Homo-oligomer: A and B are copies of this chain.
């Protein structure tokens, strides 16, 4: 795992793939099979997924969910990014985004944004973002890496966040071992491994939240395939925890 350093502060319209290609070059270049993990926030900034709190008029529902300690404008943005609120305890909101991700604050975040007035939203289509980065990196470097657009998600029942894969291109996301046999011959009947989430979490170990390293190369993991971030979202009809 190689953290990619030296990326500038990003703005809408910046050619993130070109900046990544430069950082990759300084790190010795891409090898076939490499996976480039990019923090969602970097992708969202270049895609212009930013809102300014000063321009938001909160609804009554946002005021209610914000409670006395929250900013109702922030909650209003969360509600606009949400399909359903799953749980709330003011000012905390856990919701399902329009993509189907269930996470705190619909992924809306003020950290690493551009000043206290700005919030960064999730990319509209993280799989499409990953695919575009992969294609452009192929043009620029001659190697098409796997690409993961990652974000830090909390989990039910466990403390702390782990990074997960919101968008995936050029690698498997979910490894299906159903029907495979383990070392003693017992059939693994229902095991699917969220490989892309594990890779995103591994990359977080070299990226970090405070170090200004928004991307990493993960090398030496055999994850060839054509998965998507959508593969990692539990379908509503199988989900025991969506309601």
Sorting the interface of chain A by its residue count into under 10, 10 to 19, 20 to 34 or 35 or more gives: 35 or more
Contact yes or no, B241 A182, CB < 8 A: no
Contact yes or no, B232 A210, CB < 8 A: no
> Which residues on B sit within 8 Å (CB–CB) of A62?
none
Instruction: Tell me, yes or no, whether A159 is within 8 Å of chain B by CB.
Output: yes
> Which residues on B sit within 8 Å (CB–CB) of A9?
184
> Which residues on B sit within 8 Å (CB–CB) of A194?
155, 158-162
**Complex Cα gap A202–B202 (Å):** 5
**Complex Cα gap A116–B182 (Å):** 13
Instruction: Tell me, yes or no, whether A124 is within 8 Å of chain B by CB.
Output: no
- Which positions 55-112 of chain A face chain B at CB distance < 8 Å? 87, 89, 92, 94, 96, 101-102, 110-112
The winner among A184, A188, A211 for most chain B CB atoms within 10 A is A184
Select one of B87, B162, B231, B242 contacting A159, CB under 8 A. B231
